[in-house]
Chains A and B, each alone.
Chain A
Amino acid sequence: MNFRRLWSVVRKEVAQLRRDRRTLVTMLTLPVVQLVLYGYLNSEVLHQPTAVWDQSASAESRAFLAALENTRYFSVRYRVRNLREMESLLDAGRAKVGVVVPRDYGERVRTGRAASLLVVVDASDATSARVLLQVAQALGVRISQDLQVRALARRGQRPPPPPVEVRTRAWYNPDLRSQVFIVPGVLGAVMQFVTTFLTLGTIVRERELGTFEQLVVTPVRPAELMLGKLLPLVGLAYFNLTFILLVAWAWFGVTVKGSWVLLYVLTFAFFFSSLGLGTLISTVSRTFLQAAQLAQAILLPSILLSGFLFPRESLPPFLQYVGLAIPLTYYVTVIRGIYIKGVGLEHLWPQVLALLALGIVVFGAAIVRFQKKLD
């Protein structure tokens, strides 16, 4: 390793990056766009359009509908007068939920007799239907309890304690803000994208330009060339990390709970493996287009399998294993650990080791591949 040669490569790359306005602008706008998109795009199923056929038109039925809307999951948009109308709204997809209140609902509730209601859910999307059904059922249970308590109170009695009480606490994110979970994940995904995207061109661009041949005849060593190309990118990636952290704080009010320093230090392990992956793609590709396609093929599953959006545990075992080959999988754990839980290396070392090991593998492969290509 000759530092003078390394420095020459670094200077050349910095000069080229400085003139590459398009890349720099992408680096700044992409994180904001992604953060905002994913930050608001959450997995909650709120304000579902609801059609109501209220045949009872009583104080009790109005109370039920008000309670339904108060859950924020349902939003009464349509009042219908028969089943056919409700059906056509659901068929057209304009309503996702239908509620039918029978004529005698108010009367039965007032007199303490068993009353029933019908809640119909469009279950084309099973995930959100499941949520809506649970919320509707839970609402029924709560209203029933309230009515019982009130009935007992009228007779001067107290309700018996429930046989089993489940007490719940939401740790780390007590307000259950989905952004607290999503924003660090997006940070990881964006960093994965940015680092891969930046390294894609490193080798293959020179090859396309014909400058590669010229570089090969100089005394510059493959390791010097690679390191010289990657160092400025590491700087740029750290700049980007800082930028995203600031946007997350300013826009969503999400702040780092743990150590900033640790976040920056451990991020290096991630850069090591993700830059290595990009470099490997760049060395095996013949054209930039090919490299970009290959990167696409790797980035897309990495978003789905890393646990950045969906919990990895719910994936089938095979896909979980595939996820283990993706740097983002480990980084998402690291970054959520520091960001949300405020934990340190004592819990995160397995992920860091995995990132380093992955980095050694991909970089090793890239260097082997690179040297072969000199011939």
Chain B
Amino acid sequence: MAEGVAVRAENLTRRFGEVVAVDHVSFQIREGEIWGLLGPNGAGKSTTVRMLCGILEPTEGTAEVLGLDVRHHPEAVKERVGYMSQRFSLWGDLTVLENLEFYAGVYGLHGAEARRRVCEWLERAGLADRAGDLAATLPGGFRQRLALGCAVLHRPALLFLDEPTSGVDPLSRRDFWELIHSFAEEGTTVVVTTHAMDEAEHCDRLAFLYGGRIIAQGPPAEIKRTRMEGVVLEVQTDRPVEALRAVEGHPSVREAGLHGAALHVTVGAAEAASELLEFLQAQGVPVSGVLPAVPSLEDVFVSLVETLEGSR
């Protein structure tokens, strides 16, 4: 294994019959980083992760996980990685404690060591008071932290989280990301798939997956700086919806979308700002300013997809 590389994928491909779910993707994941796989539903994120976990055989290409070829040593890979699926696969008719004890056992932990780690997790995840509750009775956030516990009890060097925050309230979501960051600080490599662009900001580096292909990868800041086609302007207004409707017809606007309380507009060049301001004022929309803005990941993603679709 090359120094500091947790995962190395080369031309990784998976076909299901005629459908190419993952199409020759190549990437490297460094040890101890949080690596995000970003893309819409059906882009091939879960399929990629499943191949890396050793539960789905690649049709083509190679993947080395923690120095092990997933095609030849899937069982050895399984022992060293943790995986949490998007459905938080727990047994509702087992208690919190029983769920954790089961996974401790199948990962080969036993006796005092197993008990200690289970207790540690109950404390760390705030589940101690609920240890005897049936998993089916837990609210979403607790279920998620329990599922995470089941995946990390054996202290994997590499942790896969497939859509970990789907169906979880924002507060639990924040707690969850705190846990993820603490893992990374302890040296665990974390691979997260998500379709939520705001969550991708938590990642050290990420890859955009679209139609089974990686269309951009790198640190979020770098992607925003280098991969944005055109310029993003922020329209400061009290009536963003009205403004959105107005700018959509303007010829120099490539893309427009609400971004929090403001409106993000993608244009060809920064010079369009004053033109746009005048245009909006002429339309009777109260606008306090139109300024160049740092593009969000969503802006970049949308522009990348537009460019891609346009070139086809």
Contacts and interface: CB of A to CB of B under 8 A. Distances in A.
Interface of A: 2, 4-5, 7-9, 11-12, 15-16, 19-20, 209-221, 374-375
18 contacts: A4-B108, A4-B110, A5-B105, A5-B106, A8-B104, A9-B102, A11-B102, A12-B94, A12-B98, A209-B91, A211-B90, A213-B55, A213-B87, A214-B83, A214-B89, A217-B83, A218-B103, A375-B57
Nearest to A16: B93
Contact of B107 (A9, A218, A374): A218
A375 B54 CA distance: 9
Interface string B59-97: 000000000000000010011010101010111011000
B53 interface: yes
A209 B101 CA distance: 19
Contact of A214 (B104, B105, B110, B150): B150
B55 A217 contact: yes
A213 B102 contact: no
Nearest to A214: B89
A8 B83 contact: no
A210 B89 contact: yes
A213 B150 CA distance: 13
Q: Is the interface of A mostly helix, strand, loop or mixed?
A: helix
Interface residues of B, number: 28
Given A8-B105, A211-B91, A219-B75, 13 more contacts: A5-B106, A9-B105, A9-B106, A15-B93, A16-B93, A16-B94, A211-B89, A213-B87, A214-B85, A214-B89, A215-B106, A218-B106, A218-B107
Contacts of A2: 108
Nearest to A221: B75
Interface of B: 53-57, 75, 78-79, 81, 83, 85, 87, 89-91, 93-94, 98, 101-108, 110, 150
Contacts of A4: 105, 108, 110
Contacts of A5: 105-106, 108
A210 B103 CA distance: 15
B53 A20 contact: no
Nearest to B49: A217
B108 to A, nearest CB: 6
B56 A218 contact: no
B78 A12 contact: no
A209 B57 contact: no
A213 B85 contact: yes
B93 A218 contact: no
A12 B91 contact: yes
A215 B78 CA distance: 10
A4 B102 CA distance: 11
B47 to A, nearest CB: 12
A23 to B, nearest CB: 11
Most buried by A among B78, B104, B105, B150: B105
B115 to A, nearest CB: 14
A232 to B, nearest CB: 14
Contacts of A19: 93
A5 B78 CA distance: 14
Contacts of A15: 93-94, 98
Listed from nearest, the 5 A-B pairs whose CB atoms lie closest are: A8-B105, A214-B89, A210-B87, A217-B83, A211-B89
